Amino acid sequence: MMQSSAQVARTLPSSPASTRQAREFVSGELRRLAAGADVVDDLDLIVSELMANSIQHGDGGDIVVRVDAPSAKWFSITVTNGVAFSLPPMDPSTWKVAATDLPSGRGLGIVRRLADEIAVTEAAGLVHVTCRRRR
């Protein structure tokens, strides 16, 4: 579904199989937009981590993944999902990779390391996480 001249979106069910579909969608769109292999790899890993969090912590509703090239300098992806309860404000600058001996907590730290910019907003029961990567 076309949103603007560069933005495209795909709606996926909240299920583990959707993570692979999200990666395929993101990588295909980024290649179509002439992204380099390193950008594709980084944003594929980012969308995998964000999908896993959406599936685990979301309300079970559909997840929307958007790919955009908002300027000649940036590529971005946005993952949007519903939340079952209000979240405290999320500050991406505090996201750290958890120790390897912990059972979880590595994903958002990985996202922080790979993205050049991150914005998290919550409105009307939806959380939007936008990650931007320089071309």
Q: Which of 26, 49, 56 is nearest to 95 (CA)?
A: 49
Give the pLDDT mean for 14-31.
Answer: 97
Q: For residue 35, what are the CA distances in angstroms to 47, 78, 113, 132, 135?
A: 15, 17, 19, 13, 7
What CATH number does domain 8-134 carry, 3.60.150.10, 3.30.70.1400, 3.40.1350.10, 3.30.565.10? 3.30.565.10
Do residues 132 and 75 make contact, with C-beta atoms less than 8 angstroms apart?
A: yes
Per the CB < 8 A criterion, the answer to whether 128 and 121 are in contact is yes
Domains of the chain, residue spans: 8-134
Q: How confident is the model at residue 2 (pLDDT cuts 50, 70, 90)?
A: very low
Mean pLDDT of 61-84: 93
d(CA 132, CA 87): 22
Question: What is the tens place of the pLDDT at every residue in 27-60?
Answer: 999 999 999 999 999 999 999 999 998 998 899 9
Statement: residue 98 has pLDDT above 60? no
> What is the model's pLDDT at position 31?
96
